Amino acid sequence: MSDHEKLEQIGQMVEDYSHLKGELNHANELLNKSSAEYQLAGITFQSLRVLDGKLICPPLPQTGNQQKVLGHLLSSAELVQLLMERERITHDLRSAAERLRGVAPHLL
């Protein structure tokens, strides 16, 4: 393999790794938002109400004493799907990191 081909291969591996890292960050962000809203919903469950088809949390110190629309709650099926996706991405990211370390250990 020529130096140019090797550099191209490394570039593609870095791009793949970066893409997987972004996917993992996105999945974790969705899980964190959902977790925070589940906590709010748990605190105020008896006071939750619906306004214009949206679940509303009453004003609390945690929400700056303003009502909050709970738009990031996930159903059980959505949560299972997101957790499985995060597991798959984590596995793929580890594999990509191992391959990248094999050809360019200084990059990770």
- Decide which of 63 and 48 is more confident: 48
Identify whether the C-beta of residue 33 lies closer than 8 Å to the C-beta of residue 10. no
- Decide which of 21 and 106 is more confident: 21
In this prediction, residue 13 carries a pLDDT of: 92
Average pLDDT, the chain: 91
Bridge partners of 51, per DSSP, are 54
pLDDT above 80 for 1: no
Residues 2-16: what's their mean pLDDT? Answer: 89
Amino acid at 86: R
Q: Using CA of residue 19, residue 8, residue 99, residue 108, what is the dihedral sign?
A: negative
> Rounded CA gap, 42 and 91, in Å?
32
CA distances from 104 to 3, 13, 91 (A): 13, 10, 20
Tell me the per-residue pLDDT of 14-52, one tens digit each, with 9 for 90 and over: 999 999 999 999 999 999 999 999 998 888 888 899 999
